[in-house]
């Protein structure tokens, strides 16, 4: 268990010690020193290899059943999404908004896209495409990248609503 480690750290440092997942701790940090402005209620979303989050309500971090309160990546945003999430469901935000999800979304739209776009050429040529590639090309005005970006943004909006 963590208890012996917790006690040893607290004794050696002389301060309270807590451990939690990265998104929960980030939510607390954002509430304390960031955009949360020490408000009692804060929702913090992380986007990376997955989609996570932390929820602070009435000044307390919510953990929920089995610690899943901040698992925002598993909010259903697309009932027609063909790609299964790591949790086994289809339609989770993580399948369209994580770094991997953005690449999967890009490949799905590229299959249907008939225009001439740099992103389409990269995919058709079998080159590596990352979420960064998509966003960089969207900034440059690439049509396919903008389609992906707009849909990614729409999915985030659905999850946040």
Residues 47, 87 share a domain:
no
Residues 128, 57 share a domain:
no
Average the pLDDT over 136-154 and give the result.
98
Residues 83, 62 share a domain:
no
Is the pLDDT confidence value at 2 over 70?
no
44, 67, 133, 146 from 125: Cα distances, Å: 38, 43, 15, 20
Q: Structural domain tally of the chain?
A: 2
Residues 100, 131 share a domain:
yes
Residues 129, 64 share a domain:
no
Dump pLDDT digits (tens) for 33-88: 999 999 999 999 999 999 999 999 999 999 998 889 999 999 999 988 888 999 99
pLDDT of residue 3: 64
Residues 64, 23 share a domain:
yes
pLDDT of residue 32: 95
DSSP letters for the chain: --HHHHHHHHHHHSS------HHHHHHHHHHHHSTTTT-S-EEEEEESSSEEEEEEETTEE---GGG-TT-GGGSB--TT--SBPTTS-BSBTHHHHSHHHHHHHHHHHHHH--S--HHHHHHHTT----HHHHHHHHHTT-HHHHHHHHHHHHHHHHHH-
Supply the CATH number for residue 140's domain. 3.30.420.40
Residues 23, 69 share a domain:
yes
Residues 159, 117 share a domain:
yes
Where among 53, 74, 95 does a domain terminate? 74
pLDDT of residue 7: 87
Residues 68, 5 share a domain:
yes
Range of the domain at 58: 1-74
Residues 58, 135 share a domain:
no
């Amino acid at each position: 268990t963590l208890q012996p480690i917790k006690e040893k750290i607290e004794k050696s440092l002389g301060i309270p010690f807590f451990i939690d997942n990265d998104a929960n701790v980030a939510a607390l940090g954002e509430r304390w020193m960031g955009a949360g402005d020490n408000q009692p209620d804060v929702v913090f979303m992380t986007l990376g290899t997955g989609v996570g989050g932390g929820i602070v309500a009435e000044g307390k971090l919510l953990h929920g059943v089995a610690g899943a309160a901040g698992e925002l990546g598993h909010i259903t945003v697309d009932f027609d999404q063909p790609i299964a999430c790591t949790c086994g469901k289809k339609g989770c935000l993580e399948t369209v908004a994580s770094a991997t999800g953005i690449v999967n979304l890009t490949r799905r739209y590229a299959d249907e896209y008939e225009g001439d776009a740099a992103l389409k050429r990269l995919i058709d040529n079998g080159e590596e495409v990352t979420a960064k590639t998509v966003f960089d090309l969207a900034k440059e005005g690439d049509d396919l990248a903008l389609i992906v970006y707009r849909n990614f943004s729409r999915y985030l909006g659905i999850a946040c609503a």
